[in-house]
């Protein structure tokens, strides 16, 4: 009999029953992810949820970890999981919530809504002049996973010409007009009116957006980062915004989180900061999708079926 620990946010009874039904005959326990302790993990063969990686160094019994997140960069580091552990993610569950917030942030920057809010806070009736539009804009989407494709569909629906950039060659999806590989980014980035990053965290993506790359962008470009914070160093982003190398940015993720209170980024007028809030469970449908994926993979693992979103430990990406 396998021991299964579910460490997700507080679940309702229907959600719990869905997971129980996926592992008949198993001993299953539920604990809120914020309350997990090392003692909860002892002797457990299967964990459902994104438990702190530091707690996973010792449990030799662990066979299968289904994280509740779409990224697994913290779990593929050497020494976190013992060799042979199966690792899967909830890729796809967060597409709607992250893409919708990212498209909202894009429109907010193009229409200067952040500046109008600032003026409101100062009780100023101020016309801020010229604004941009997604209709006819060239939008470069960096990272064409499920979130990137969802965002691309939204952008195209609003009239954008979408360029997708991805790591591996594949057929071009209908949601983009052109598609390139990552090593071709420098060729296409000067064309973009908006650059939206959904890059995952990995050695290959760390500090991808260099000072040189920001200088190659249009001075009118809007940069939106809803992938991982390691993709751009805080000082590089600050310099690009202060020097007018890009017009504005909306950022949900940072290399150091929480962003330190004394960071100069907080005071930039042309930057909107959100506290890594887009990918959580604020949209109720997200947790439902997470539970669905976890239940399907739990059943597949126990019955020798095909698993979704299996992580390649060498790359940190889905296989």
CA 175 to chain centre: 19
> What was the pLDDT predicted at 18?
98
Catalytic residue among 146, 167, 213, 228: 228
Q: What are phi and psi of 106, to 5 degrees?
A: -60, -50
Task: Please say if the pLDDT value at position 273 is more than 80.
Answer: yes
Pick the CATH number of 3-93+283-303 from 3.40.50.720, 3.40.50.300, 3.10.180.10, 3.40.50.1580: 3.40.50.720
Catalytic residue among 114, 153, 191, 276: 276
Catalytic residue among 17, 184, 257, 269: 257
Task: Please say if the pLDDT value at position 121 is more than 80.
Answer: yes
Interval 45-95: pLDDT, tens: 999 999 999 998 767 899 999 999 998 989 999 899 999 999 999 999 999
Interval 210-242: pLDDT, tens: 999 999 999 999 999 999 999 999 999 999 999
Q: What is the mean pLDDT of the chain?
A: 96
CA-to-CA separations, 24 to 21, 153, 308, in angstroms, rounded:
6, 39, 20
Interval 136-152: pLDDT, tens: 999 999 999 999 999 99
Confidence label for 316 from pLDDT (cuts 50, 70 and 90): confident
Q: Is 213 a known active-site residue? A: no
Q: Is 228 a known active-site residue? A: yes
What count of other Cβ atoms lies within 10 Å of the Cβ of residue 88? 25
Task: Please say if the pLDDT value at position 317 is more than 90.
Answer: no
The whole model's pTM is what?
0.94
Confidence label for 314 from pLDDT (cuts 50, 70 and 90): confident
Same CATH topology for 3-93+283-303 and 95-273?
A: yes
Residue with tokens 């976190």: 80
CATH 3.10.180.10 is held by the domain 95-273:
no
List beta partners, residue 225: 197, 251
Q: Where are the domains of the chain?
A: 3-93+283-303, 95-273
């Amino acid at each position: 009999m396998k021991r299964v620990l579910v460490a997700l946010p507080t679940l309702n009874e229907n959600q719990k029953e869905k997971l129980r039904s996926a592992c008949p005959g198993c001993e299953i326990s539920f604990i809120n992810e914020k309350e997990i302790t090392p003692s909860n993990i002892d002797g457990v063969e299967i964990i459902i949820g994104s438990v702190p990686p530091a707690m996973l160094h010792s449990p030799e019994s662990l066979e299968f970890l289904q994280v509740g997140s779409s990224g697994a960069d913290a779990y593929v580091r050497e020494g976190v999981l013992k060799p042979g552990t199966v690792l899967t993610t909830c890729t796809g569950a967060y597409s709607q919530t992250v893409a919708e917030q990212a498209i909202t942030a894009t429109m907010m920057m193009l229409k200067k809504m952040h500046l109008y809010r600032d003026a409101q806070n100062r009780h100023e009736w101020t016309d801020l002049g010229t604004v941009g539009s997604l209709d006819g804009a060239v939008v470069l989407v960096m990272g064409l996973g499920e979130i990137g494709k969802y965002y691309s569909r939204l952008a195209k629906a609003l009239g954008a010409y979408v360029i997708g950039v991805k790591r591996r060659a594949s057929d071009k999806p209908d949601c983009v007009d052109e598609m390139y590989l990552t090593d071709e980014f420098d060729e296409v980035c000067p064309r973009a009116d908006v650059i939206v990053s959904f890059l995952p965290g990995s050695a290959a993506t760390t500090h991808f957006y260099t000072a040189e790359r920001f200088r190659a962008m249009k001075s009118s470009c809007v940069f939106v980062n809803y992938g991982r914070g390691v993709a751009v160093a805080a000082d590089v982003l600050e310099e690009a915004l202060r020097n007018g190398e890009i017009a504005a940015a909306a950022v949900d993720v940072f290399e150091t989180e929480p962003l330190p209170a004394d960071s100069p980024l907080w005071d930039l007028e042309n930057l909107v900061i959100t506290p890594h809030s887009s990918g959580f469970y604020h949209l109720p449908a997200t947790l439902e999708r997470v539970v669905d994926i976890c239940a399907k993979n739990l059943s597949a693992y126990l019955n020798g079926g095909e698993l979704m979103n299996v992580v390649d430990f060498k790359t940190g990406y889905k296989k």
